[in-house]
Structure 1
Amino acid sequence: MWAYWLGAIPVTVEEILKACPRQRVTALSRGALSYRTAGQGPAVVFLHGLAGNSLSWARQFPALAARYRIVAWDAPGFGLSDAVEPDVEVFADVLRELLDHLGCGPAAVAGHSMGGVVAARLAAGHPDKVARLVLSCSHAGYGESADSPMQPRVEQRVRELASVGAAEYGLIRARGLFPAGFADKEAMGVAAGVAAEARPEGIRSSTRMLQLADNRSVLPRLEMPVLVITGERDPVVKPHLRDELRALTPQARHIEMPGAGHAPYLEYPAAYNAILDEFLSPG
């Protein structure tokens, strides 16, 4: 692992993933929560999306850990984290407990896609915990009623995972993150390896959480510095959701990454990390 931080360049997907900090597990009030951490300095907490886990940030750890204390969680139902109720307030409270456990608040919180929905809810409910907020390829939540049925694609994905196996499932999910014609096999391999670790309980609870979550009333009221990053060719967050998030955060800085799909942290890591670094260390 330490060779990565000392400058050796991994040349395979396996080496990239193995070079990430080791997975740690802590007991919180709602069960086990796993995460990875490296570096020293101001805390930056990364929250992954539906097809991710703490390994999603394999290209951020080595670039940013020299200047920041990086923490990447495994959301409830992912990695070694126990699943919780499919409620965005519960997800945000688990995150609050993790920050308190690690003693790293107020922190910069960078939430990607699903992670952005959770990050925004934490920032709204506990602004003392969030010094800066990054919403990466995210949205406001789907805001459906509690009596709405589970989306059919949820059980379809669970059945797909069981029928094709983890490796093929990971590849299918990874292909859906990138725009047509994307040819970086290393980025694709990392995304597939991460997505292959999905668990049925995580798929179910997190998708339902997003289905019910609604941050439309809280996003305009956020008072900490906010950065919204979007991908020009994002195949996951549709244009109307992207535009809605922009409209709901007029106080934020908005950056669209040209040519990027739904995983700019893997597709264009140097540019993505530079955007983060500038926002995290202004002036």
Structure 2
Amino acid sequence: MMFDWGKQRLHCTDEGTGPPILFLHGLGGNASNWLHQRRHFSRTHRVIALDLPGHGRSTGVDVSFREYRDAIEATLDHCEIDQVSIIGLSKGARAGLSFTAHRPERVHKLVIVNAFLHLTPEDRRSRLELYELLLRPGGLHVWGDRLLRQMGVREHTAIWRGFTASLSSITPTHLHSVFRELVDIDQRPELQNLRKPILLIRGEKDAFIPPYCVEEMSAICSTSEVLHLSDSGHLPYLDDPVRFNKAIESFLLGEARTPSAISAG
């Protein structure tokens, strides 16, 4: 469905009935990335998947990351949802965290998949160098190939082909602009102040997100638990959707547990 948000138009999918879940994609993605999860969870939940501003069918390439939380609230208002559980990947997870910190009463549980809340100076520099490729002639495909390798999904043929095909719909300057904004925002204080049940998912083959990121998040958030997926990279919802869905389902249906680190592989 499409709906107005100020001067912009936002798109989201709305499927199923039951406790509401909101899926938020990563940088350059869209609502269709969550197709496996939408099919699975819509049997027992109301599933909303949002195209964040400037992504998919949503307008707003000039919308800042800080405004994404307002787009999330507008989506919940449009769908008449008071409280929701949020599952976000990378940038989408950070948008979900920003919204949760801003409007905690509207979030039941939060799942953060392969995200950084801050980077060391060296990691910041190396990732900025990668995204600088987007501004060079012919750099889009070089960026895409290097990113796939860092994300640990290059060997998954279907993911590689789908990602490569999606490059034609990407606006390189938009991705570059959003990423530069992201690397300069430290969201650790937002996480530290939360008292919501939070599941942190780490794909062990993901070299784009440094391992210290999830360790640090777990240490500063007393209500979090960590799931390590030894055979997955940056996109566990695609490379092993059955295991990913079971983990999310267990977290959503179960009671809040004491902080723990769980390995699955």
TM-score range, shorter chain: 0.7 to 0.9
The question of 1:102 aligning with 2:79 is answered yes
- Aligned equivalent of 2:35: 58
State the 1:67 CA deviation: 0.9
Q: Structure 1 vs Structure 2: percent identity of aligned residues?
A: 25
Counting only pairs closer than 5 Å after superposition, residues 1-283 of structure 1 correspond to structure 2 as 24-81=1-58, 82-88=60-66, 90-142=67-119, 151=128, 153-159=130-136, 163=138, 173-179=147-153, 183-282=155-254
> Could you list the runs of 5+ residues in structure 2 that have no partner in the other structure?
122-126, 256-265
Partner Cα separation in structure 2 for residue 53 and residue 74 of structure 1: 5
Query: Do 1:77 and 1:203's aligned partners in 2 also have CA atoms closer than 8 Å?
Result: no
Partner Cα separation in structure 1 for residue 173 and residue 75 of structure 2: 20
**Structure 1 stretch 224-233 or stretch 188-197: which is displaced more?**
188-197
Amino acid at match of 2:227: I
Partner Cα separation in structure 2 for residue 69 and residue 158 of structure 1: 39
State the 1:272 CA deviation: 0.2
Change (3 A) 1:128 1:135: same
Query: Do 1:77 and 1:84's aligned partners in 2 also have CA atoms closer than 8 Å?
Result: yes
Amino acid at match of 1:70: V
Query: Do 1:77 and 1:83's aligned partners in 2 also have CA atoms closer than 8 Å?
Result: yes
Change (3 A) 1:192 1:276: farther
Please identify runs of 4+ aligned residues in structure 1 that moved more than 3 A. 141-144, 150-155, 168-176, 190-196
State the 1:133 CA deviation: 0.5
State the 1:203 CA deviation: 0.5
State the 1:86 CA deviation: 2.7
State the 1:183 CA deviation: 3.7
State the 1:74 CA deviation: 1.4
**Structure 1 stretch 245-254 or stretch 58-67: which is displaced more?**
245-254
Change (3 A) 1:164 1:153: closer
For residues 114-149 of structure 1, the C-alpha deviation after alignment (integer angstroms, 9 at most, x for no partner) is 1111111110110111111000111214599xxxxx
> Could you list the runs of 5+ residues in structure 1 that have no partner in the other structure?
1-23, 145-149
Partner Cα separation in structure 2 for residue 26 and residue 201 of structure 1: 25
Structure 1 length-normalised TM: 0.78
Root mean square deviation of aligned Cα: 2.7
For residues 33-90 of structure 1, the C-alpha deviation after alignment (integer angstroms, 9 at most, x for no partner) is 12222222111111111242112112211111111111111121211221244342x1
State the 1:196 CA deviation: 4.4
Amino acid at match of 2:194: L
Partner Cα separation in structure 2 for residue 35 and residue 171 of structure 1: 29
Structure 2 length-normalised TM: 0.83
For residues 231-259 of structure 1, the C-alpha deviation after alignment (integer angstroms, 9 at most, x for no partner) is 11112101222322222223211111112
Change (3 A) 1:192 1:242: farther
Change (3 A) 1:44 1:246: same
Query: Do 2:69 and 2:98's aligned partners in 1 also have CA atoms closer than 8 Å?
Result: yes
Tell me how many residue pairs correspond in the alignment. 250
Change (3 A) 1:104 1:202: farther
Partner Cα separation in structure 2 for residue 243 and residue 107 of structure 1: 26
Partner Cα separation in structure 2 for residue 58 and residue 192 of structure 1: 18
Partner Cα separation in structure 1 for residue 230 and residue 84 of structure 2: 28
